[in-house]
Chains A and B, each alone.
Chain A
Amino acid sequence: MSLTAKLDQIFVLLQHWISGFFPLWLQPAVGTILAVIAIVATFPGIFAVTTVLERKGLGRMQNRLGPNRVGPLGLLQPVADGIKSLTKEDIVPASADAVVHFLAPVVLVAAIFLGFAVLPVGRNMVLMNMDAGLLFFFAIGASTELSIFMAGWSSRNKYSLLGAMRAVAQMISYEVPLLLSSVVAVMMTGSLSTVKIVEAQSGFTGIFPHWYVFTPWGFAGFVLFVIAALAETNRSPFDLPEGESELVAGYFTEYSGFKFALFFLGEYLGMLSIAGFGITLFLGGWGAPFSFLGFVPSWGWFFVKLFGAIAFFIWLRGTLPRLRQDQLMNFAWKFMLPMTLLNLLVAGAWRFLGEGWSRWVVCSAVLLLAYVLLGRVLMRKQNLGPRSYRYAD
């Protein structure tokens, strides 16, 4: 085994080496536990780095320096935040449903961690190579809505309940385009397994990779997936459920101390997992971006892409203002849904138009035309003038 191949498989080899110390019948269980420990350690670690990078990045976008007091360049800020949230008082409102109030953040974080089980982080680095991996991820992802609603309902607070209502409405609306936009990757691969989807994109033409994002349907699917993913994870500009200026903090208004930190963790882990799936579906997973860069370990490419996705999310958060509820819903049902459905048709056409340049022209033209026309119709129907009242005046 060459050095690069060894480096590529270093975590897999480590896992085998450690589980080799155990009796044969225990080895699969030990291997799984090790992988779980790795996931539970790595992604919250990335979450900690992300919080400080986000604050610094947003600061720079607003011509500030951002946090720079704790440790060198403020990089120890997450440690200080962690200690702070652990030592803060954990308040449960007197009228709250204490059990559900406690369960909500726990269920949220547990459900989101489950999603990482089918995420291929590198070559041979996936906890569970499920045949229906993608389906599993979306099923688990849908259960976060339950815990958010549990949090909002059990708090007995109008802001919490309103935030939870908004969150559920938004997440259910955007679940549809999220699923439909990722179906194109499944159609092309012919498998729901995340590992197979990555492998299908691992070829190269010349030096360029066969990522799905470099096809008309893949590009449209990727853009739609990113928008739906932003809405799914309640990130700006779709952060209505926790809009500070309207709802205090939305569904976690009544949470403090470490339960609040768990919600925060869950939100960022959700963002990481959905970004990871966007990478898996459209950006070639752990594949190298050019054929001559294959010597870099596969997990290295995955995390480079993950941090790129995080940087893009932060950039969007620093740029876009929050949407209004009706704009949010209009966008989901009048733009996202038709575009994703059309994208499915285009992906089918791509498959049956055969090799050659004609399918590039046809598919791009259809998608572009639909985008321009839909955009025009949506923009024209906007009523941006002052609101008029029929009876109140």
Chain B
Amino acid sequence: MLGEGMLKGLAETAKNFAGSFVSKERLTTVQYPEERIAPIENTRDFPFLVYDGDDAMAGLRCVACQICEKECPPKCIYIVKSTDKKPDFVGKMQIYPARFDIDISVCMSCQICVEVCPFEAIKMDTEFELSTTDRFGGLLYDREQLSRSNEHYHKIHPTEAAEVDARLAEEKAKAEAKAKAAAEAAAAKAAAAPAPKEAPAKEPGA
């Protein structure tokens, strides 16, 4: 009969109305600043720079290769290469970013910088409460603000971080074995003839 479905609908909403006062489980929302839902593991919004060890600036994995800067679709990354070098996780001397800025207000969270990085140095964070009172400077993050420890990465994306760590450890082991083999070869050569000063180690991740 005409109007039957309407009555059914009215009964349903009345049930919801009364039920929301009685049972807490019915409520689909949480009271946000006080209550929070833990983010799911695949949550990602803006990039950060990973560092190993305790000193953020010394442990940065980034070698200022500028691939991310070139690939970034909205061009929100700005990198200045250093003139001196510091050792990376394998021990090889690398240049490092003297400046590494990301304009969060321009970033579109596409994750392309993460995908192109050969050094596992830039990853996606889950921090989303980024509002500031300063419209321009407040959202332009420099390398100190961008750097997060590897432990932080493990905390927000455990599966992915474990994979990255395994890959890096494998590379390091490979590099060490190679260096050892090269050193042995050099030692063997040195026994025969004057040796070159340093064994050329292969670039990790290449």
Contact = CB atoms under 8 A, between A and B. Distances in A.
Contacts of A371: 2
Interface string B88-119: 00000000000000000000000000000000
Interface in A353-381: 371-372, 374-376, 378-379
A316 B11 CA distance: 11
B29 to A, nearest CB: 5
Interface residues of A, number: 21
B9 A63 contact: no
Nearest to B3: A375
Contact of A61 (B1, B2, B17): B17
A163 to B, nearest CB: 25
Contact of A63 (B6, B14, B16): B16
B53 interface: no
A60 B21 contact: yes
B1 A372 contact: yes
Contacts of A63: 16, 19-20, 26-29
A92 B16 CA distance: 42
Nearest to B31: A65
Contacts, number: 52
Nearest to B20: A60
Contact of B16 (A62, A65, A68): A62
B140 to A, nearest CB: 28
A374 B2 CA distance: 9
A71 B49 CA distance: 43
Contacts of A318: 13, 17
B10 interface: yes
A88 interface: no
B28 A378 contact: no
Interface of B: 1-3, 6, 9-10, 12-14, 16-17, 19-21, 26-29, 31
Cβ-closest 7 pairs across A and B: A375-B2, A61-B13, A319-B9, A319-B13, A60-B20, A60-B17, A63-B26
Interface of A: 57, 60-65, 68, 315-316, 318-320, 335, 371-372, 374-376, 378-379
25 contacts: A57-B17, A60-B21, A61-B17, A61-B20, A63-B19, A63-B20, A63-B27, A64-B20, A64-B27, A64-B28, A64-B29, A65-B20, A315-B10, A316-B10, A318-B13, A318-B17, A319-B6, A319-B10, A320-B6, A320-B9, A335-B2, A374-B2, A375-B1, A375-B2, A379-B2
